[in-house]
C-alpha cells in the first residue's frame, strides 16, 4: 500500500473551514484515498473516500489533485466536536486491510 504523509497537528477556529492535507506520491492507479477520524479513544469513523474525482458528502469534501499524488479533506464549518485525529489512508481495491498512520491531530478552538 502507498504511504501517506500528513502534518502531525493543525488548529482551526470554530466555524471556519478546516483543510487537512495528505501526500500520497506513490499511489497507484487502483488505489483509493480514504479518510477516517478518531475522536478521543473511540473507534475510527469513516468520513469520505475517492479515486480520482472530487467527492462531497454531508460530512466533508475531498479534493484529489489531477496527478493523484495529494489530496485535501475539507470540513467546511468546523465545530468543537470535529476535534479528532484524522487519518488519510490509501487502500488497494484487492485488499481488506486499512493501514493507519499517525494522522493529523485537529484541534478546533472557540
5 interacts with another protein by CB under 8 A: no
Cα 37 to Cα 26, 54, 66, distances in angstroms? 22, 19, 24
Distance CA 62, CA 26 (A): 19
DSSP type of residue 80: G
The interface with another protein within residues 50-79 (CB under 8 A) comprises none
Integer Cα distance of 101 and 4 in angstroms: 8
Residue 43 or residue 110: which is nearer to another protein going by CB? 43
Q: Is residue 93 part of the contact set for another protein (CB under 8 A)?
A: yes
CB of 81 to another protein, least distance (A): 16
Residue 108 neighbours by CB distance under 10 Å = 20
Residue 20 or 87: which CB sits closer to another protein? 87
Binding pattern to another protein, positions 9-48, x when CB under 8 A?
-----------------------x-x---x--xxxxxx--
Amino acid at each position: 500500500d502507498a504511504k501517506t504523509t500528513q502534518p502531525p497537528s493543525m488548529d482551526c477556529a470554530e466555524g471556519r473551514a478546516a483543510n487537512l492535507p495528505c501526500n500520497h506520491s506513490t499511489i497507484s492507479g487502483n488505489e483509493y484515498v480514504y479518510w477516517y477520524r478518531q475522536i478521543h479513544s473511540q473507534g475510527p469513523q469513516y468520513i469520505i473516500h475517492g479515486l480520482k474525482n472530487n467527492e462531497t458528502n454531508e460530512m466533508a469534501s475531498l479534493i484529489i489533485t489531477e496527478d493523484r499524488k495529494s489530496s485535501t479533506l475539507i470540513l467546511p464549518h468546523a465545530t468543537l466536536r470535529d476535534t479528532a485525529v484524522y487519518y488519510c489512508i490509501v487502500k488497494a481495491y484487492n485488499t481488506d486491510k486499512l493501514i493507519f498512520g499517525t494522522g493529523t491531530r485537529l484541534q478546533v478552538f472557540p
